[in-house]
């Protein structure tokens, strides 16, 4: 299933204290639409953006119990896009986060919080998707 055939859109919603509230994510890949369903909204809710970009994919995959190849792939796409978007918004420079493929299209500030809209090009490299039996050994 892994492919990198199109860009994605991402809107990050922050609360009034600039803590993560939620996000919406959409990508068309291999003729199938992927939307945020991996559980990251609940997983990251209330966290500081700087903390979110530091959480490694393997930890999130294990915590959210992503067992099969498809769920790992979708989770990776969401995690990678969200981490890239946050890093760009915060102005972070990290050799492992490719912010050059992100473009902020708008930022809206209200009394309730902040909304950051971005377009994200596909990752240059897709992750190795490991069977659960091998992923657990890492």
pLDDT digits (tens, 9 = 90+) for 25-47: 887 555 555 555 668 999 999 99
Domain boundaries, the chain: 8-135
Average pLDDT rounded to a whole number, residues 76-105:
90
Average pLDDT rounded to a whole number, residues 90-104:
90
Cβ contacts of 135 within 8 Å, gap of 6 or more = 58, 61, 62
Find out whether 2 and 126 touch, Cβ atoms under 8 Å: yes
Distances (CA, A) of 38 to 30, 43, 67, 80: 18, 9, 12, 12
Kindly state the DSSP code that residue 96 receives in the 8-state scheme: T
- Does pLDDT of 65 surpass 70? yes
- Considering the entire predicted model, what is its pTM? 0.78
d(CA 57, CA 59): 5
Q: Which CATH number fits domain 8-135: 1.10.260, 3.30.70, 3.90.1010, 1.10.287?
A: 3.90.1010
Please tell me the predicted confidence (pLDDT) of residue 1. Answer: 41
């Amino acid at each position: 299933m892994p492919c990198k055939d199109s860009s994605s859109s991402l809107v990050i919603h922050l609360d009034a204290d600039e803590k993560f509230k939620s996000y919406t994510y959409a990508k068309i890949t291999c003729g199938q639409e992927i939307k945020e369903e991996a559980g990251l909204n609940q997983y990251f809710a209330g966290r500081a953006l700087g903390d979110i970009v530091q959480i490694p994919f393997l930890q999130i995959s294990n915590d959210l119990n992503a067992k099969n190849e498809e769920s790992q792939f979708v989770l990776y796409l969401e995690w990678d896009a969200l981490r890239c978007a946050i890093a760009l918004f915060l102005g972070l420079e990290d050799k492992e986060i490719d912010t050059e493929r992100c473009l902020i299209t708008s930022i809206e500030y209200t009394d309730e919080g902040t909304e950051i809209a971005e377009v994200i090009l596909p990752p240059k490299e897709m992750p190795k998707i490991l069977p659960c039996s091998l992923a657990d050994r890492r």
